[in-house]
Amino acid sequence: MHRRQFLFSSLAAAGAAAGLRAAAAALKFGHRQANMVNDPGPAVFDLAKQIQGLSGVELQVYFKGTTLCDQATLAAYQRAAERTGLSIPSVAGVWPPGATLLQPAAEENLRNAIRAAESLHATTILAACFEQNCPNMDQEQSYGPVVALLQKVSGAARDAGVTIGMETSNAPAGDRKLIDLVDRPSVKVYYDLDNVERYAHTGEAVPGIAILKSRIRQVHLKNEDRLLEQPGRVNWADAVKGLAAIGYAGWLVFETTHSDPQQCIEATRKNIAFVTSHYAS
């Protein structure tokens, strides 16, 4: 290689590495409320505030007999977020007990979640659908009504500044098909790599990042009750590098299981350090 070409390529490589380090430093980490505490209530923000590097809490619309559809409950969470300086990037748990995406009340439940998210300045709704409650992407009679429903509520989500993130038990290719059929900017994928492997799409979780690319709205990170660096269904070092490769810059939300508040603090700090180091590597 000519010396000038070598210098230019070296500078480009150094610039790319610096860019990755800067991107890693700007990563936004949240944690799912239901995996941090056993009891509902705004005290979850006080726990989250103790975790260095954590910037937000993903709340549940329905959680242990409480709901964000209740204005007093919603206001209490708003005040706690403001008091601690933390964000509410997303809301999950959008289905009341016994309800699913495939039931007639799904539209009303999604609209309730959109209103709650807008009030909390959350920008993502996690809409979960697994196994028998998930559309079969090989059968139009199964996925067709879901596509129509998501198209119907997408306008309300868009107007509220909210994106509906679909978390399914389908393979990444099925998620891509669903999002492409809906074809609305306010409907994307809430990508949970551990679920991909859990629902028998063995070896597809990490390659699925490249399959979905810009269709990914938000990402769940979990390894059951273990640290991300420990063996599990997903090779998280490869997964984080895969997210960096597509330029993913959205929220990374932990859904790990914890034995007590102190263990939650310590494990989440370690997991944040792990993700940051591999994103920049």
pLDDT score for 8: 53
C-alpha dist (Å) from residue 83 to 46, 74, 256, 280: 9, 14, 25, 32
**Which residues, 6 or more positions from 16, have their beta carbon under 8 angstroms from its beta carbon?**
none
Tokens of 265: 């603090």
Q: Could you give the 3-state DSSP secondary structure of residue 162?
A: coil
Phi, psi of 132 (to 5 degrees): -65, -15
Q: Domain 25-279: what homologous superfamily? A: Divalent-metal-dependent TIM barrel enzymes (3.20.20.150)
Averaged pLDDT score across all residues of the chain: 93
Cα dihedral 230/209/99/104 (nearest 10):
-170
Quickly count: other Cβ atoms within 10 Å of residue 132's Cβ: 9
Give pLDDT tens digits for 179-238.
999 999 999 999 999 999 999 999 999 999 999 999 999 999 999 999 999 999 999 999
Beta carbons of 61 and 91 less than 8 angstroms apart: yes
What is the value of pTM for the model shown? 0.92
Quickly count: other Cβ atoms within 10 Å of residue 103's Cβ: 13
